[in-house]
Structure 1
Amino acid sequence: MDRVIQKKKWSNKRLMTIAGVAGVVLLVAGSVMFTSGKSKLNVDLERITISEIKKGDFQENIPVNGVVMPLTTIYLDAVEGGRVEEKYVEDGANLKKGDPIIKLANTDLELNLANQETAVYAAQTQMQISHNAAQQNTVTKLNQMADVDNAFKEAERVYMLDKKLLDQKAIGLQEFKAAENNYNYQVRRKKLTTQILKQDTSLTKQEGVQAREQYAHMKSTLELMRKKVADLTVRAPIDGQLTSMDAEVGQNKNKGEHLGQIDAQSGFKVRVDVEEHYLSRIYTGLKGDFQFADKTYNLVIKKVYTQVTNGRFQVDMQFVGQVPKGIRKGQTLQIRLALSDPTKALLLPKGGFYQQTGGNWIFKVSEDGKTAYRVDIQINRQSPDYYELTNGLQPGDKVITSSYENYGDIQELVLKK
């Protein structure tokens, strides 16, 4: 007996057709969604950081490290070379100005001093002998001058008398001529003797001046030699603490070799390393601050060392106002160095988003707080905590500042609790 076979309502062919159409629709819809920039991603609110855009004081500053150093440091070098003969103090000792530190021995220098002293004493003796001889010579010349002057006066007297007697016919012409010749001779003799005495006096004076100058030069050289020998005993140039001492008894130290240093106890400064990128923007007068024992202390740049080593240069900063109690030489401080004065600006808190966006865009949270979408922004300067925002957002806007590492090309975030 034949059965009536009922026709199936959903045949395999029909199901496959419907599935194919649905796939095409889904493909088209997905393509439209992605090409229209509406790709979305669900994110957990607890896994992101939402920050608010605020208007406030912005100051561009950079974090730098500084090392506490004595305000004044005097380096001790060997003024003269020699062998370390004696050490009076050890490294770390507190000294007063003039206190001896070490004594060097230099036989050649000490022998030169002895020879110079001998030469000075010999020069002094010779100068005294020359002075006595000059005085004796002067006395002799003066005696000669006295004799010549006396002979001249006598010849003048006889000449004048014989002239009168000749006029009176009391003597003959022959006798008068003899008196006249003698007078003329004595005139020439006196003139010559006077000239010789004058030249001798000038020469004696000149020789005396030269002898005294030579002796003064020799004494100056002697004093210099004595100072060089005295420098063999190295003394503290200022009050302070002896540090970095490098000398042991028996060691030979060359001239100019470093021996140690004296750190003054009058205060501290901070030596700061800065990246060479900021060299053109660093100058004396810039300020910085740091935290120490839960308090903020201020510093100011006093000196800039423009020499760049390994991509960094150094500056010296001094404390402004109070110096922290308990601070020690060699201590490292984390300093915020200000590169500008405070100005009013839109403040965007720093975060991990910058690594993926380069500061060109950011996810802005919608007013209802349920989604976040991309917006273009412009960033100018930065500080350790904030970026200076110049375009793209307004005060009160909320943005996601945590890392975007897992977001890829997502255009919109769906915020889930």
Structure 2
Amino acid sequence: MIKDTSAQDTAITSKKRRLKPIVVGAAVLIAVALSAHAIITTETVSQSVDKSSLQIATVKRGELVRDIAATGRIVAANAPQVYSPEQGLATLLVRAGDTVEQDQIVAEVKSPELENNLQQEKSEALRLEGEFEQQKLETRRQTLLLNKQLDLAKVELQAAERENRRAHASIEGHLISQIDFEKAEDDLARARLNVAHAEQEVELAKDTLAFALQSAQSALNRQRFVVSELERKISNLAVTASVSGVVGNLLVAPKSVVSVNQPLMTLVDLSAYEAEVNVAESYANNIGIGMDVELTIGARKVIGTLSAISPEVTEREVTTRVRFSQDALSQIRQNQQISARILLENKDDVVKVRRGGFLDAGGFVAYKLDGDVARRIDIETGVTSMREVEILSGLQPGEQIIVSGYQKFQQAPSVLLR
């Protein structure tokens, strides 16, 4: 007979009782640690901010390019206007947007008054030309007459000399009286005087006739110049394009009466473009001709040169012109919007950080990261660019700061980043 199974039973210690003190101890330690961390955090951190909502940048050392941001548009470097050469009725031979070649006729101006003046001046030129030919004939006639008188005087001189020789021979032979001899002497003297005066009159008459002929020639030449000028003006009534390109704006209506030098249309030279960049008035004293400008045209970036600066301020902006090479560019359009960076200065080996909203606080303070805590420190900033700002003191390369705005920090000495 079996009494019971007590002889087979073995006493077993419960594991649950052994683990319970260990769990309780660990819980106590965790509670103590959390309490200590809460106490420390409460003493040093007054704000808590979500880290994902902040912008953080690393302080670096390198080159800083000081620049100015601006916007602008593409304009034609050469966009001349076409003017009416005379008063008259203008006929436009092209329309806005038409392609034209250099020296192509784009408009015609009809001026009846100018054509009438040309006919009158041509008639006057023909009259003066007739007078000039007549003056040449008169000069020849007068010259011939004077030469005749000179020749006759010379013949009379020869006769007088011959009579004088005969008188000398006769007086020696007592064949003539003294009175006849003296008369022969007087005739010779008179003949010599007549020849001398005739020669002088011929020289004077030649000069007079040459002057009259030259005056007639000058009057004719002047009239020919007048006719030539009127012909040039009439030929200019066919207005030609000064450049190859397209017709911009038509400034008058077709078949309208125009005055002298009145603009007719604008031509746009598509072979050369410039950038017209508007710079804020506050930066006007910092820019100068010859500075490099980085232009963003579509998806391309090109470097140009500042070529002109407007002397006046319009709507708190200064207008500048930038020249750039179009060799590597295509499909540039008039008035295409662009963005620009005017490069003012390059500084090497500077401590810098990415530009951000923290500069709104004046650039005197920053929040530097120390683990999960951002601590407020004093800094000193230098020159700024569109993308970066120079750090003069307070930070070292490799350190990280919050570059976004500090409005939510409420000037706290330290902020917990969660």
| Shorter-chain TM-score tier | 0.7 to 0.9
- Which of the residues 372, 375, 382 maps onto 1:373? 375
| Shift of residue 284, structure 1, vs aligned partner | 2.7
Structure 1 residues 322, 380: closer, same or farther in 2, change over 3 A?
farther
CA distance in 2 between partners of 1:301 and 1:47 (Å): 40
The secondary structure found in structure 2 opposite 1:328 is coil
Aligned 8 A contact 2:92 2:255 in 1: no
Aligned 8 A contact 2:352 2:389 in 1: yes
Structure 1 residues 113, 307: closer, same or farther in 2, change over 3 A?
farther
| Shift of residue 262, structure 1, vs aligned partner | 2.5
Counterparts of 1:61-100 in structure 2, within 5 Å, are 61-84=67-90, 86-100=91-105
| Shift of residue 342, structure 1, vs aligned partner | 4.9
| Shift of residue 339, structure 1, vs aligned partner | 1.0
Aligned partner of 1:363 in structure 2 is: 367
| Shift of residue 400, structure 1, vs aligned partner | 0.9
Higher mean alpha-carbon deviation, 317-326 vs 177-186, is at 317-326
| Shift of residue 340, structure 1, vs aligned partner | 1.5
Aligned partner of 2:29 in structure 1 is: none
CA radius of gyration, larger in = 2
Aligned partner of 2:59 in structure 1 is: 53
Aligned partner of 2:220 in structure 1 is: 215
The amino acid of 1:306's aligned partner reads P
Q: Which runs of 5+ in 2 are unaligned?
A: 1-42
Aligned 8 A contact 1:297 1:324 in 2: no
Listed one character per residue, the Cα deviations across residues 107-154 of structure 1 (whole Å, up to 9, x for unaligned) are 322222222222222222222222221221111111111111111121
Aligned partner of 2:27 in structure 1 is: none
Listed one character per residue, the Cα deviations across residues 196-222 of structure 1 (whole Å, up to 9, x for unaligned) are 111111111222222222322222222
Q: Does 1:177 align with 2:179?
A: no
The amino acid of 2:368's aligned partner reads K
Aligned 8 A contact 2:355 2:389 in 1: yes
Aligned partner of 2:385 in structure 1 is: 383
Counterparts of 1:319-334 in structure 2, within 5 Å, are 319-320=324-325, 322-334=327-339
Counterparts of 1:303-322 in structure 2, within 5 Å, are 303-320=308-325, 322=327
Counterparts of 1:3-402 in structure 2, within 5 Å, are 40-84=46-90, 86-292=91-297, 294-320=299-325, 322-355=327-360, 357-366=361-370, 369-402=371-404
CA distance in 2 between partners of 1:65 and 1:309 (Å): 15
CA distance in 2 between partners of 1:127 and 1:134 (Å): 10
| Shift of residue 41, structure 1, vs aligned partner | 0.9
CA distance in 2 between partners of 1:412 and 1:40 (Å): 7
| Shift of residue 386, structure 1, vs aligned partner | 0.9
| Shift of residue 310, structure 1, vs aligned partner | 2.5
Structure 1 residues 209, 391: closer, same or farther in 2, change over 3 A?
farther
Listed one character per residue, the Cα deviations across residues 322-341 of structure 1 (whole Å, up to 9, x for unaligned) are 43122222211112221123
Listed one character per residue, the Cα deviations across residues 241-274 of structure 1 (whole Å, up to 9, x for unaligned) are 2222223332122222221222234332222222
Structure 1 residues 137, 250: closer, same or farther in 2, change over 3 A?
same
Number of aligned pairs? 378
Aligned 8 A contact 1:104 1:233 in 2: yes
Give me the CA root mean square deviation.
2.4
CA distance in 2 between partners of 1:87 and 1:72 (Å): 22
CA distance in 1 between partners of 2:231 and 2:268 (Å): 28
Listed one character per residue, the Cα deviations across residues 47-102 of structure 1 (whole Å, up to 9, x for unaligned) are 21111111121111112223222333322122323222x32222222222321111
Structure 1 residues 389, 256: closer, same or farther in 2, change over 3 A?
farther
The secondary structure found in structure 1 opposite 2:125 is helix
Aligned 8 A contact 1:57 1:345 in 2: yes
Structure 1 residues 93, 171: closer, same or farther in 2, change over 3 A?
same
Aligned 8 A contact 1:116 1:222 in 2: yes
| Shift of residue 39, structure 1, vs aligned partner | 7.2
- Which of the residues 402, 405, 409 maps onto 1:403? 405
Listed one character per residue, the Cα deviations across residues 150-203 of structure 1 (whole Å, up to 9, x for unaligned) are 111211221123223322323322222222221111122112211111111111
TM-score by length of 1: 0.84
CA distance in 1 between partners of 2:412 and 2:334 (Å): 53
CA distance in 1 between partners of 2:400 and 2:316 (Å): 39
Aligned 8 A contact 1:297 1:323 in 2: no
CA distance in 2 between partners of 1:300 and 1:136 (Å): 75
Aligned 8 A contact 2:289 2:306 in 1: yes
The amino acid of 1:209's aligned partner reads Q
Q: Which runs of 5+ in 1 are unaligned?
A: 1-35
The amino acid of 2:180's aligned partner reads E
Structure 1 residues 39, 165: closer, same or farther in 2, change over 3 A?
farther
